[in-house]
Amino acid sequence: MQSLRLITFDVTNTLVKVKCSIGYEYCKIAELYGIKCSSDDMINRMNANFKLSLKKIKKESPAYGAVEGITCYQWWYRVMYQTFISSGVDISSSETENKFKQTTAHLYKYFSTSEPYQLVDGAEQTLRTIKGLRKSDDCPIGVLSNSDERLPLILGELGVAHFFDFILLPQITKIEKPDAKAFQAAQEKGDKVDPSQALHIGDDLMKDYHGAKNCGWNAIFVDLNNTRDASVDPDDRIPTIKELINHKIVNRIN
């Protein structure tokens, strides 16, 4: 069994999660600017429409606008606009449009900080342990995430950025997981290691687990919802990130 010479982590829900729902946060900040939308029904609609809007804009403009050539804020403005409009918020007048622009600017800045986020239980200890097991710098530890350019700042404020040797994001690679090119870009960070010497850990079945496996990598699926999906090797499944340090694969860290 070959030693591991490259380890990458997904971030969203694997290491970091939002404290409250997106719908709640959107409505809370919109209320600050006079947009009335704090009812439970509206929050639920915001949550549902955010997911739909995010999926739609991701398809239309991959990699947070990097392929299209727009800024990350412009990209997220589209998502927020679609979310609010689909949820029934009227921003047709100049007055409400101005309130909406203030809301989106605030939201973008707010989600650029650690305030709406928290570390998943056991994340910091797991990262500390994994880095401590590393015998040399020949086994870089990195982030391979589909998050946007604000992630390094957020990880820094949460106090875990120093655990990583690199952070690869779609705005850098112009590719998102599960595309094989995303994993190949990570391999470049590991001095072009053989895929059998690389490990990726994440909570998304297709983007993280199968994305890595299809590239010949080792993969650990953080099965947060206890799906016990039949396509996952039982040896590759852990229920939470803190279980990683008890997994036999850590014995292969170089």
Q: What is the 3-state secondary structure (H, E, C) of the chain?
A: CCCECEEEECCECCCEEECCCHHHHHHHHHHHCCCCCCCHHHHHHHHHHHHHHHHHHHHHCCHHHCCCCCCHHHHHHHHHHHHHHHCCCCCCCHHHHHHHHHHHHHHHHHCCCCCCEEECCCHHHHHHHHHHHCCCCCCCEEEECCCCCCHHHHHHHCCCHHHCCEEECHHHHCCCCCCHHHHHHHHHHCCCCCHHHEEEEECCHHHHHHHHHCCCCEEEEECCCCCCCCCCCHHHEECCHHHHHHCHHHHHEC
pLDDT along the chain (254 residues), means of 10: 93 98 97 93 97 97 95 98 96 91 98 98 98 88 97 98 97 94 93 92 98 98 96 97 96 90
CA angle 217, 220, 223 (to 5 degrees): 145
CB 56 within 8 A of CB 82: yes
Q: What is the pLDDT of residue 1?
A: 73
Q: What is the pLDDT of residue 92?
A: 86
Closest CA to 144 of 102, 98, 202: 202
Q: What is the pLDDT of residue 164?
A: 97
- Number of Cβ atoms within 10 Å of the Cβ of 228: 10
Round to whole Å and give the CA distance between 220 and 216: 13
Query: What is the identity of the amino acid at 199?
Result: L
> Residue 19 burial (CB < 10 Å; 0-12/13-18/19+)?
exposed
Q: What is the pLDDT of residue 191?
A: 81
Report pTM.
Answer: 0.95
Round to whole Å and give the CA distance between 158 and 17: 11
Domains of the chain: 6-17+117-252 (3.40.50.1000), 20-110 (1.10.150.720)
Alpha carbon separation from 70 to 78, 109, 146, 179, 212 (Å, rounded): 11, 17, 17, 22, 29
